[in-house]
Amino acid sequence: MTYGPTVIPRILYFLVLASACAILASGCSSSETAAPAPGKTWPTAPPEEQGFNSDLLAQVIEQINQQELPVDSLQVARNGVLILDAYFYPYLGEQPHDVASVTKSVTSTLIGIAVDRGLLSLDQSMVASFPELVPVPPSDGKADIDVRHLLTMMSGLDCGRSPEEGEPELNLMMQSDHFVKYALELPMAVAPGTEFAYCSPGSQVLSGMLTEETGARALDFARQNLFDPLEIGETQVVSKAWVREATQKSVIVDTDETGYGYQWWVLGGTFEGLYEALGNGGQAIIVWPDKDVVAVFTGRGVDVIGDVAPLLVAALQSDVALDPNPEAYARMNAAIRDATEPPAAKPVPPLPPMATEVSGKVYRLEPNLLDVQCISLRFDSPSEVRLELTLGGVGSGVYDLPVGMDGVPRFSESWPTGIPVGILGEWSEPSVFSMHIDEVAGTKQLRIRGDFGGSAESVELEFADANESFPRQTVQGSSVAGCN
């Protein structure tokens, strides 16, 4: 696929624009007069016009490519001007990207709009907003949880208190029939306002409270009061006071003095003065108010702050325009084009004898976290394999997926989340077949390792996610006539 003109997917456009508007609303500008927020068509310019070094930005793109960092896209804007717009194969910006918990920061902004309009208050009781779900005030301290506690992840609910286990409460909520009801029924662990614990179901409650108090679905409220107005260049959609308060440290959560505001991470240490919306897998909006800089990332497991952000900071070299550098600008654009190119196919080694023995067999699995009930592989070609997964629970069904064996992923839109996936496979050992399943516009990197040992009648499967959204798990599978 060839690299076309600058096109920002709607969600990325919103994210950059919302952050730019957050800078403008906060009144924190490095210049005397804040630049107008961009409209539907972004003004673009060579990085040097905004004080960035194109050579160093080219190095950022080249390093992401060379190290195969799981970055999907990267945009940088300064003073409302887009100076870097890059996409990385296989994500080419043609569909919206799952931004995971970045949505929390968007929800916080919606809460700010509702507070500005008197529809909600920071001290409003959580349970009082749901009289049908909680007809009798609870006596366990839950009635003391208010909007501010939910915004700052200090609700006291028994949720998010074991980060080494991922987010088990979030997974259980997603399997429930009523997300808000599940969250409201979580037991208390400590008194509200006493401890920080990253609890995603609490953010779902905020969305529910918004619906209850405004009479509109959170998405409809967002479209009417945030998404649509942001198409208009000079519209202020949330007050300066809210932006300032939401991006202050309400609680310190890390040894480097990083804190948490109202669903925004407020950085400390080397990055003091920056704040960010952060989502699983490397989704991020990083806002640098003092420099009028916004950077937006999507990815599948990248450590934005550790791997990429320092390189961008180094590329910002002046608060005024640098001398033009057409050679460096050309290098940067060449790196951006190269980033969209697929990998070259590699020679495919002969299939081991075990491939013939297991081809077409169906293996029923022990109960597992992913609810994979059966798995089957067909080795009809050395360069492309067919993987069949039978899933239960959420997304239940049978999924027939191609697997590339030549170093080039094969793509399919047949996946439980509805997000396209690219799949690679290899025989890493004569009896071990491994697969990498990566969402093209999502956050998941599922790894499946199948060890057939000395017999095709059974398999030991290991499931893992590079983003650690669930614990690594090993399950046994036995050959059966069929999955039903």
Q: Tokens representing 64?
A: 């992401």
- Residue among 169, 174, 168, 198 nearest 186 (CA): 169
**Neighbouring-strand partners of residue 438:** 422, 445
SS3 label, residue 426: strand
Within a domain: 405: yes
| Cα angle value 217/220/226 (rounded, 5°) | 125
DSSP 47: G
Q: Residue 193 is encoded by which pair of tokens? A: 């306002």
Residue pair 470/127 in contact by the 8 Å Cβ criterion:
no
CATH code of the domain covering residue 381: 2.40.128.20
Residue 240 near residue 27 (C-beta atoms within 8 A): yes
Look up the pTM and report it: 0.86
pLDDT at position 414 is: 84
Can you tell me the distance from the alpha carbon of 71 to that of 85, in angstroms, rounded to the nearest whole number?
13
CB 412 within 8 A of CB 423: yes
Q: What is the dihedral of CA 13, 444, 219, 228, to 10 degrees?
A: 0
Task: Please check whether residue 78 lies inside any domain of the structure.
Answer: no
Q: What is the pLDDT of residues 1-58, one digit of tens each?
A: 222 223 334 444 445 545 544 544 443 333 333 444 444 567 899 999 999 999 999 9
**Quick one: pLDDT at residue 467?**
72
What span, in angstroms and rounded, lies between the C-alpha atoms of 197 and 7? Answer: 38
**pLDDT given at position 98:** 87
Q: Which helix (H) or strand (E) covers residue 89, if one does?
A: none
Q: What is the pLDDT along the chain (484 residues), one digit of tens a residue?
A: 222 223 334 444 445 545 544 544 443 333 333 444 444 567 899 999 999 999 999 999 999 999 989 999 999 999 989 999 999 999 998 888 888 899 999 999 999 999 999 999 999 999 999 999 998 889 899 999 999 999 999 999 999 998 877 788 998 998 899 999 999 999 999 999 999 999 999 999 999 999 999 999 988 998 888 888 776 555 878 888 998 999 999 999 988 999 999 999 999 998 999 999 999 888 999 999 999 999 999 998 888 888 898 899 999 999 999 999 999 999 999 999 999 999 999 999 999 999 999 999 999 999 998 889 999 999 998 899 999 999 987 778 999 999 999 999 999 988 888 889 999 999 999 999 999 999 998 888 899 999 999 889 999 999 998 777 777 899 999 999 998 7
What is the domain range of residue 405?
353-480
How many CB atoms within 10 Å of residue 166?
17
> Among all chains, which residue has been given the structure tokens 């109960």?
367
> Other C-beta atoms within 10 Å of 49: how many?
16
446 forms beta bridges with: 437, 465
In a domain, residue 375? The reply is yes
Q: What are phi and psi of 461, to 5 degrees?
A: -105, 135
pLDDT at 466: 76
pLDDT of residue 234: 58
pLDDT of residue 231: 67
Q: What are phi and psi of 271, to 5 degrees?
A: -105, 25
At residue 393, the pLDDT reads: 76
User: Which residues, 6+ apart, have CB-to-CB distance to 3 below 8 Å?
Assistant: 92, 336, 337, 340
The reply to whether 461 falls in a domain is yes
Total count of domains within the chain: 1
What's the pLDDT score for residue 2?
A: 25
Tell me if residue 38 falls in helix, strand or coil: coil
- 3 state DSSP class of 187: coil
| Domain assignment of residue 174, yes or no | no
The confidence score (pLDDT) of residue 97 equals 87
Give the containing element (helix H, strand E) for 384. Answer: strand 384-391
Rg (CA), the chain: 24
CB 89 within 8 A of CB 341: yes
Pair 483, 364: CB distance under 8 Å: yes
According to the model, what pLDDT value does residue 15 have? 52
